Structure 1
Amino acid sequence: MVSDGRGSTCPFCEIAEGRSPADRVYETPEVLAFLPLSPATTGHTLIIPKLHITDLWHADTRSLEPVMAASLVVAQALKTALSPDGLNLINSAGTAATQTVFHLHIHLVPRWDGDQMGDFWPESTPWSESKRATLAERIRKSIH
């Protein structure tokens, strides 16, 4: 059994290994897509790697490629099946980003104009050109 890193059994590993039930919608040897118990909207789907990876910061390109490929397959299926007006692809890494299950997962959330999700982006003020340039340089220097 895989621990979630916090002393508990990982619920997504339990689902991936078939020890907990889930409404599976897509599966490959590397990934699983299933419906969450408490969806944000109709069709809300989770995509997980079957291998336990805590979050995006612990992933590598090889492990993330099948997750993103599955996200595209399922997103197209959601568009065909449900005809939403839009789609959010959401990933949270860490508690500050509201991650509650510490197994990498992508939320595909179909959206409709006026749905209960609403606009979740906060109002913001544009940054100065120098502040943006300084931040961009800091990020570029941190890329390995």
Structure 2
Amino acid sequence: MSDNSCIFCKLASGEFPSATVYEDDLFRAILDISPAAKGHTLLLPKTHAVNLFELDELEVSKALLVAKKLAAAIQKTLQCDGINILQNNGTAAGQSVFHFHIHLIPRYEEDGVTIPWKSLSYSDGEAFELANKIHQNL
């Protein structure tokens, strides 16, 4: 199912033209029109899901397998030094288009592309306590 107001649904379905690098029955991967680096690719499911939590387990599993395949092809094609594979869920996490997608961004030493965050630290025992709380919710 798709959302008629969702730009990524229209891109994933082929309704809007895009530079497609991969397609199967579940996904389409396209070059981002506002790339962080040349070759920046978006992996989009063909069915609408706002975020990771709305995808079924088959789609989640296949998404990561396809991302791995795409990353290898991008690296081989561009001879980049590394690749960021990013996926954001919710506004607070940086999601700006509410259709699940994975960014694959080719990286080069000293390329100036940044993914900044301020590093924090845990007090004594705090990390173990939090890990146990998260574990209890699995």
Query: What range describes the TM-score normalised by the shorter chain of this pair?
Result: over 0.9
1:74 equivalent in alignment to 2:70: yes
Question: Which letter does structure 1 place at the counterpart of 2:128?
Answer: A
Q: Could you tell me the TM-score, scaled by structure 1's length?
A: 0.89
- Give the TM-score, by structure 2 length: 0.92
Q: Which amino acid aligns with 1:140?
A: H
SS at match of 1:140: helix
What is aligned with 1:9? Answer: 5
The runs of at least 4 aligned residues of structure 1 exceeding 6 Å deviation read none
Counterpart mapping for 1:47-62 below 5 A: 47-62=43-58
Unaligned runs of at least 5 residues, structure 2: none
Secondary structure at 2:125's aligned position in 1?
A: helix
Q: CA RMSD in A?
A: 1.6
For 1:16-35, list aligned pairs within 5 A.
16-35=12-31
Q: Deviations over 1:89-114 (max 9, x none)?
A: 10010111111111100000111111
Q: Which of 116, 125, 130 does residue 130 from structure 1 map onto? A: 125
Identity %: 36
Supply the distance in 1 between the matched residues of 2:42 and 2:20 (Cα, whole angstroms): 10
